[in-house]
C-alpha cells in the first residue's frame, strides 16, 4: 500500500468482525467515507488441506474436504469423489448419481439460505435470518437422517454412496420442496419490494462480465453480470443433463441482481430435486471400485458448480494410495480477489454489503 | 501416464506460433494438455486468449518433483466460454528460477501466483504484489514442497508470535 496523503485514513476491518463472515481482515484506505483501495489479509483459517491430502489415502482424505466450504460440504464431497472417480475411470451408479444430485441441490439451497439470512442481517434486516434458518433446518434434518451429520456430512463415497436411502426420504424431500417455494416468495415479499433494501443494494459493488472473466469470477456473481454460465449446463456431471432447469441470469452485476440470481437459483434447485426424487433409479449404490483406491499414474482436473462458483480438484497420482499432489480450486478465494474492484469508490458501509454479496466462506478461502 | 497425442486447431496453433517452445501436446483421460518452456507460457496464454477465446484462467498451481530437473511444474488451467473447452498448460521451473508473471494477461493470476510463491517459493518476475498470501509474511519455509514435513513449523515464528516457548 502506498503512502497516505493528508486527507486519507486507513481503517482496519476485521479479522474479528461479524460482517466479514469469518476471519477476514481488510485494510481499507479511505478518502473521507469513500474507499480508495482495499487489501485483503487472509490465511487465518489456513490448515494446509492440500498438504494433508498428500499424507492421507484417497479414502482417508474424503472427510477433510467437508471442512473447506463447511456450508456446502456435500458439494465439496461430490467434487472430490468425481475427481478421484475420473482418475480411476469409474462412474457412480445411476441410483447414486440421482441421490447425489438431490443432496447437492438441497445443499445449494441450504448454502443460499444461510447467505440470504446473514446478508440481510449485514444490511440491517434482522427478520429474514429467522425464516431462512427455519427452512435450512429442514434441509439439515434430511442430511442428519441420511448420514447422521448436519454440517460436515461426508455423504458420498468414491464410487457412489455409503448409505442406502432411509425410509421416508422421498416423502421428506418432496414435502420440503412443496412448502419451500412459498417460503421463497415470502422472502421476496419481505425484501424485494422493500424500498430500503432496494436502495441499499442497487448499483452497489458493480462488476461487469468482462471484469469477471479477467478475475476468473464464477457462480452467481458471474451470472448476475449477464453471463449465463453454469457448469451443470456447460459440462454436465452426475447426470445433470437429464434434468430440466434454467440458469438464472441478470444483467446489471450489482448487489441487488446477485440477490435475485440466488433466489431464482433456489427455485431452480427445487425443480431439479423434484425431477430427481420422482425417478430415483433402482439398483446398487456403489460402482465396482477397488477396496484400496490406487489410481494409475496420471493427473486430472475435475470441477463442479458449487453454490459459490466453480469448485475444482486437480489431482496428480503417482500410482500409490495417496495423492501425490491435490490442488483445490476454491471459488471463494478467486471471487474474493475481485473485492478490490467492486469496492473501489464505494462507501465504507457498502463494503459490508459487497463482502456479503460475494458469498465467501473463509474455510474455503484459506483451506 | 498413458497419454494419447492431442490433435486439432489448438495444438496446431501452439506449435505453429511457438515452435520448439512447445515440448509436448497430449491428452490424458480426455483432458488435453501442453507442456511448454517457462518463457513461452505467458505468450501461449495470450495467444489462446486472443485467437482461440480462452478468456478464463481457471487455476494456476504448481507441483514439486524434487528428483526431476527442473524441479517444479507450473500448471495453468484455462477455459473458453465460447468453445466450452478446457486446456491445461504446464511448464517446468527450476529451484531458484523465476517464472514470468501472467498478471498482464489475466488479472486473476495475481492471488494465484502469490499462493504458488507462498506454498512453493517460486517467484514470478514482474508480479505487482509479491507477498505471501496464506502464511504469515515472516514465515520461513514453503509448506507444499516435498521436503517440508507435515509437522514442520517455523519454530522461531511460533515462539515470537504465539508465545509458545517450545515453538511447536
Contact A334 B112 (CB under 8 A): yes
Q: Is a pLDDT exceeding 80 seen at residue A5?
A: no
Contact B28 A86 (CB under 8 A): no
Residues of B in contact with A51 (CB under 8 A): 143-144, 148, 150
Question: Which of A20-24, A325-329, B9-13 comes out lowest in average pLDDT?
Answer: A20-24
Q: Is a pLDDT exceeding 90 seen at residue A22?
A: no
Q: Is a pLDDT exceeding 90 seen at residue A117?
A: yes
Check if A1 contacts B (Cβ < 8 Å).
Answer: no
Residues of B in contact with A50 (CB under 8 A): 119, 144
Check if A303 contacts B (Cβ < 8 Å).
Answer: yes
Contact A325 B56 (CB under 8 A): no
With cut-offs at 50, 70 and 90, classify the pLDDT of residue A306: very high
| Average pLDDT of the residues in B11-36 | 91
User: SS3 sequence, B88-114?
Assistant: EEEEEECCCCEEECCCCCCCCHHHHHH
B159 touches B153 (CB < 8 A): no
Of B98, B113, B136, the C-alpha closest to A334 is B113
Query: Using one digit for the tens of pLDDT, what is the confidence trace for A156-178?
Result: 999 999 899 999 999 999 999 99
Terminal CA-CA length for chain A: 26
Distance from chain centroid for Cα A54: 24
pLDDT of residue A125: 87
Q: Closest residue of A to B2, CA-based?
A: A298
Comparing CB atoms, the residue among A46, A310, A329 nearest residue B135 is A46
pLDDT of residue B113: 95
Contact B57 A216 (CB under 8 A): yes
Backbone phi and psi for residue A198, each to the nearest 5 degrees, phi listed first? -65, -45
Check if B131 contacts A (Cβ < 8 Å).
Answer: no
| Helix (H) or strand (E) run with residue B53 in it | none
Euclidean distance between CA atoms A67 and A52, whole angstroms? 12
Q: Indicate the burial class of B80 (C-beta count within 10 angstroms; 0-12, 13-18, 19 or more).
A: middle
* Domain map (residue ranges) of chain A: 8-366
pLDDT of residue A267: 94
Q: Is a pLDDT exceeding 90 seen at residue A11?
A: no
Comparing CB atoms, the residue among B55, B134, B148 nearest residue A213 is B55
Q: Is a pLDDT exceeding 80 seen at residue A6?
A: no
Contact A300 B111 (CB under 8 A): no
pLDDT of residue A2: 58
Listed by number, the residues of chain A in 214-233 with a beta carbon closer than 8 Å to a beta carbon of chain B are: 214-217, 227, 229
Q: Is a pLDDT exceeding 70 seen at residue A3?
A: no
Q: Is a pLDDT exceeding 80 seen at residue A7?
A: no
Check if A320 contacts B (Cβ < 8 Å).
Answer: no
Percent of chain A whose pLDDT exceeds 70: 98
Nearest C-alpha of chain A: how many angstroms from B12?
23
Enter the pTM of the model. Answer: 0.90
Q: Is a pLDDT exceeding 90 seen at residue B37?
A: yes
| Average pLDDT of the residues in B105-127 | 94
Q: Closest residue of A to B60, CA-based?
A: A329
Query: Using one digit for the tens of pLDDT, what is the confidence trace for A181-213?
Result: 999 999 998 899 889 999 989 999 999 999 999
Query: Using one digit for the tens of pLDDT, what is the confidence trace for A47-88?
Result: 999 999 999 999 999 999 999 998 999 999 999 999 999 999
Per DSSP, the three-state class of A152 is coil
Residues of B in contact with A43 (CB under 8 A): 133-136
Check if A47 contacts B (Cβ < 8 Å).
Answer: no
Contact B31 A301 (CB under 8 A): yes
Nearest C-alpha of chain B: how many angstroms from A91?
13
Q: Is a pLDDT exceeding 80 seen at residue A19?
A: no
Query: Using one digit for the tens of pLDDT, what is the confidence trace for A313-352?
Result: 999 999 999 999 999 999 999 999 999 999 988 898 899 8
Contact A86 B29 (CB under 8 A): yes
Nearest C-alpha of chain A: how many angstroms from B63?
7
Check if A314 contacts B (Cβ < 8 Å).
Answer: yes
pLDDT of residue A32: 84
Q: Closest residue of B to A43, CA-based?
A: B134
Q: Is a pLDDT exceeding 60 seen at residue A1?
A: no
With cut-offs at 50, 70 and 90, classify the pLDDT of residue B96: confident
Strands A309-317 and A298-306: antiparallel
pLDDT of residue A220: 95
Of B109, B141, B146, the C-alpha closest to B127 is B109
Q: Closest residue of B to A231, CA-based?
A: B84
Per the prediction, chain A carries an average pLDDT of 91
With cut-offs at 50, 70 and 90, classify the pLDDT of residue A218: very high
A14 touches A25 (CB < 8 A): yes
Question: Which of A25-34, A257-266, B37-46 comes out lowest in average pLDDT?
Answer: A25-34
Strands A25-31 and A34-41: antiparallel
Comparing CB atoms, the residue among A43, A55, A214 nearest residue B133 is A43
With cut-offs at 50, 70 and 90, classify the pLDDT of residue B78: very high
| Average pLDDT of the residues in A287-299 | 91
pLDDT of residue A33: 87
Q: Indicate the burial class of A42 (C-beta count within 10 angstroms; 0-12, 13-18, 19 or more).
A: buried
Q: Closest residue of A to B63, CA-based?
A: A325
Name the superfamily (CATH) of residues A8-366: Cytochrome-c3 Hydrogenase, chain B (1.10.645.10)
Contact A312 B61 (CB under 8 A): no
Contact A312 B63 (CB under 8 A): no
Amino acid at each position: 500500500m502506498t503512502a497516505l496523503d493528508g486527507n486519507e485514513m486507513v481503517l482496519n476491518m476485521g479479522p474479528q468482525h461479524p460482517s466479514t463472515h469469518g476471519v477476514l481482515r481488510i485494510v481499507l484506505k479511505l478518502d473521507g467515507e469513500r474507499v480508495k483501495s482495499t487489501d485483503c489479509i487472509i490465511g487465518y483459517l489456513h490448515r494446509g488441506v492440500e498438504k494433508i491430502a498428500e499424507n492421507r489415502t484417497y479414502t482417508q482424505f474424503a472427510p477433510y474436504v467437508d471442512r473447506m466450504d463447511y456450508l456446502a460440504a456435500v458439494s465439496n464431497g461430490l467434487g472430490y469423489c468425481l475427481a478421484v472417480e475420473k482418475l480411476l475411470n469409474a462412474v457412480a451408479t445411476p441410483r447414486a448419481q440421482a441421490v447425489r444430485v438431490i443432496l447437492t441441490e438441497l445443499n445449494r439451497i441450504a448454502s443460499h439460505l444461510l447467505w440470504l439470512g446473514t446478508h440481510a442481517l449485514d444490511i440491517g434486516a434482522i427478520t429474514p435470518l429467522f425464516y431462512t434458518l427455519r427452512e435450512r433446518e429442514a434441509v439439515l434434518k434430511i442430511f442428519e437422517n441420511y448420514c447422521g451429520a448436519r454440517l460436515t456430512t461426508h455423504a458420498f463415497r468414491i464410487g457412489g454412496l455409503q448409505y442406502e436411502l432411509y425410509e421416508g426420504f422421498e416423502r421428506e424431500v418432496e414435502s420440503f420442496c412443496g412448502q419451500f417455494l412459498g417460503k421463497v416468495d415470502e422472502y421476496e415479499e419481505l425484501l424485494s419490494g422493500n424500498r430500503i433494501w432496494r436502495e441499499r443494494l442497487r448499483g452497489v459493488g458493480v462488476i461487469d462480465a468482462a471484469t469477471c472473466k479477467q478475475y476468473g469470477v464464477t457462480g452467481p456473481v458471474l451470472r448476475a453480470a449477464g453471463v449465463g454460465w453454469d457448469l451443470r449446463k456447460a459440462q454436465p456431471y452426475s447426470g445433470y443433463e437429464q434434468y430440466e432447469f434454467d440458469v438464472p441470469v441478470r444483467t446489471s452485476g450489482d448487489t441487488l441482481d446477485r440477490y435475485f440470481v440466488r433466489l431464482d437459483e433456489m427455485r431452480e434447485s427445487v425443480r431439479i430435486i423434484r425431477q430427481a426424487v420422482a425417478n430415483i433409479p433402482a439398483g446398487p449404490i456403489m460402482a465396482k471400485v477397488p477396496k484400496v483406491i490406487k489410481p494409475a499414474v496420471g493427473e486430472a482436473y475435475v470441477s463442479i458448480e458449487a453454490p459459490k462458483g466453480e469448485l475444482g480438484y486437480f489431482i496428480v497420482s503417482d500410482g500409490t494410495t495417496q495423492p501425490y499432489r491435490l490442488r483445490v480450486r476454491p471459488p471463494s478465494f478467486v471471487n474474493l480477489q475481485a473485492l478490490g474492484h467492486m469496492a473501489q469508490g464505494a462507501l465504507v458501509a457498502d463494503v459490508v454489503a459487497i463482502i456479503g454479496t460475494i458469498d465467501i466462506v473463509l474455510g474455503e478461502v484459506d483451506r | 501416464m498413458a497419454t494419447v497425442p492431442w490433435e486439432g486447431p489448438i495444438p496446431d496453433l501452439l506449435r505453429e506460433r511457438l515452435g520448439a517452445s512447445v515440448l509436448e501436446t497430449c491428452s490424458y483421460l480426455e483432458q488435453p494438455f501442453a507442456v511448454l518452456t517457462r518463457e513461452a507460457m505467458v505468450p501461449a496464454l495470450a495467444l489462446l486468449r486472443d485467437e482461440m477465446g480462452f478468456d478464463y484462467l481457471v487455476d494456476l498451481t504448481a507441483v514439486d518433483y524434487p528428483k526431476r530437473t527442473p524441479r517444479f511444474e507450473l500448471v495453468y488451467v484455462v477455459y473458453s466460454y465460447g468453445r466450452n473447452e478446457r486446456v491445461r498448460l504446464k511448464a517446468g521451473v527450476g529451484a531458484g528460477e523465476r517464472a514470468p508473471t501472467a498478471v498482464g494477461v489475466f488479472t486473476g493470476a495475481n492471488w494465484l501466483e502469490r499462493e504458488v510463491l507462498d506454498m512453493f517459493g517460486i517467484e514470478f518476475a514482474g508480479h505487482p504484489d509479491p507477498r505471501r498470501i496464506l502464511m504469515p509474511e515472516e514465515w520461513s519455509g514453503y509448506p507444499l514442497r516435498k521436503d517440508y514435513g507435515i509437522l514442520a513449523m517455523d519454530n522461531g515464528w511460533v515462539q515470537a508470535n504465539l508465545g509458545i516457548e517450545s515453538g511447536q
